[in-house]
Chains A and B, each alone.
Chain A
Amino acid sequence: MASLKDIKKRISSVKNTQQITKAMKMVAAAKLRRAQDAAVSARPYAEKLHAVMSSLAQREEGDEHALLNQRGTGRALVVLMTADRGLCGGFNANVSKEAERFIRSNEQGFDDIDLMIIGRKGRDFLRNRVGQHITKVHEDITSDATYKTAQLIGQEIVETYSEEKYDAVYVIYNAFKSAIEQIVTTERVLPIQANPGEEIEGDSVDYIYEPNRNEVLGQLLPKLVEVQIFRGLLESNASEQGARMSSMDSASRNAAEMIGKLTLQYNRARQAAITKELMEIISGAESIK
């Protein structure tokens, strides 16, 4: 049986760990709130943009735009959004596994698949599995995703797509459902699917386009990609904080349980020692009578 001192040492070490996990949980909770607010307040913009897009698509006039064209299956780019830091449960592993699965199951479908990873953890996870596909890694941008960063990534994607380096672009990220639930989501970013959306009531007066329809479309489509990336980043960030919060919460609870068990063990050992000492004293007293 472990000595009293050993048990005491273990209790204090578990207590220290618990303190850390508790603090991390608090920090994640605070960050989650902010991330959630950011994700929610970004929604109107994306919705409006999609509304404009679908009302444009309704007045279809045989659009010919590079970003709308289905070019078949040549090379594909997968943008994977993970976190830079760990200790957030299955957050990184889930989404990375999905990326791995996606690549393995589509290897036949495409000539080649390139992987762009956002976040250090995704790179670490996939380096030894599908390392040959990884072409680019962005680090240190997930914690405070600004529209600017999304814009840069979006522009990069649109550029490589327009140069016909890729024929399809997908994003894989954790969509934020609630603090304890994230949904691994795969979306196709390019070519853009122009879904006509619901019919708009009233007379269908022809739109005036300034400067002209193609110009407007040409500027709107890249924007759509940027917004999709931006939304992905925000959702991924909120999911990360949520995942960290719940995993740190269960870690704290496990620590508390362990402390309870160890304390019980400690008290038993202490009592046993006392009983032993008492018996020794009594038997000693008996012998000198």
Chain B
Amino acid sequence: MADKLKLEMVTPYKRVLSEEVDEITAPGFVGELGLLPGHTPLLTTLKVGELTYKKGSETYHIAVNWGYLEVENETVTVLVDTAEPADEIDLARAQAALGRAEDALKTLSHEDKKYMIMESALQRAMIRIQVAGKGH
């Protein structure tokens, strides 16, 4: 059994990652998901959240936004709408987005159609800030 996982991450715009890694933690639909080499085949949807992978002693953090994760034959394929590594996140912009979303949520009622949209915007902004804070 191989002792490494191959991590492939793609977005509609480009291939973000294609690396051999030791361990992956992903925000699965039903909960946080830890993946090690030798994992059984799995297909899951991902939530907005933070994906972490370990390579040697280094740990990397990536903010991901809605997608899929497939495990098969020691290969982990991640399909996401957006993926931002910690060092690519514009913290100021994320904070501005957070502020905007918070303000909008205060004025909206729960039934409003926009409420859901702003709530997910808020979530994304929070994840981004969280990931950016960790650097790597």
Contact = CB atoms under 8 A, between A and B. Distances in A.
A227 B10 CA distance: 13
Interface residues of A, number: 29
A216 B43 contact: yes
Nearest to A56: B43
Contacts of A56: 43
Contact of A147 (B10, B12, B30, B70): B12
Interface in A3-48: 38, 41-42, 44-45, 48
Interface residues of B, number: 24
- What does DSSP make chain A's interface, helix, strand, loop or mixed? helix
A52 B43 contact: yes
Interface stretch (A102-110, A204-212, A247-255): A204-212
B34 interface: no
Interface in B63-99: 68, 70, 72-73, 77, 79, 81
A208 B43 contact: yes
Contact of A38 (B10, B13, B68): B13
A41 B8 contact: no
Contacts of A219: 45, 68
- What does DSSP make chain B's interface, helix, strand, loop or mixed? strand
A56 B77 CA distance: 14
A158 to B, nearest CB: 16
B79 A48 contact: yes
Interface string A204-234: 0111111100011001100100010010000
Interface string A81-125: 000000000000000000000000000000000000000000000
A51 B70 CA distance: 10
B40 interface: yes
A38 B14 CA distance: 8
A65 to B, nearest CB: 15
Given A48-B79, A205-B41, A220-B68, A210 B13 contact: no
Contacts of B11: 45
A99 B30 CA distance: 45
A10 B77 CA distance: 62
A220 B68 CA distance: 8
A210 B44 contact: yes
A55 interface: yes
Contacts of B28: 210
Contact of B45 (A48, A215, A227): A215
B29 A211 contact: yes
Nearest to A210: B44
B10 A48 contact: yes
Interface of A: 38, 41-42, 44-45, 48-49, 51-52, 55-56, 147, 150, 200, 202, 205-211, 215-216, 219-220, 223, 227, 230
17 contacts: A41-B15, A44-B15, A48-B79, A52-B70, A52-B79, A56-B43, A147-B12, A150-B12, A205-B40, A208-B41, A209-B44, A210-B30, A210-B43, A210-B44, A215-B29, A216-B43, A223-B68
Given A48-B77, A55-B70, A210-B44, 14 more contacts: A38-B13, A41-B13, A42-B14, A44-B10, A44-B14, A44-B15, A48-B10, A147-B13, A205-B41, A207-B42, A210-B29, A211-B44, A219-B45, A230-B12
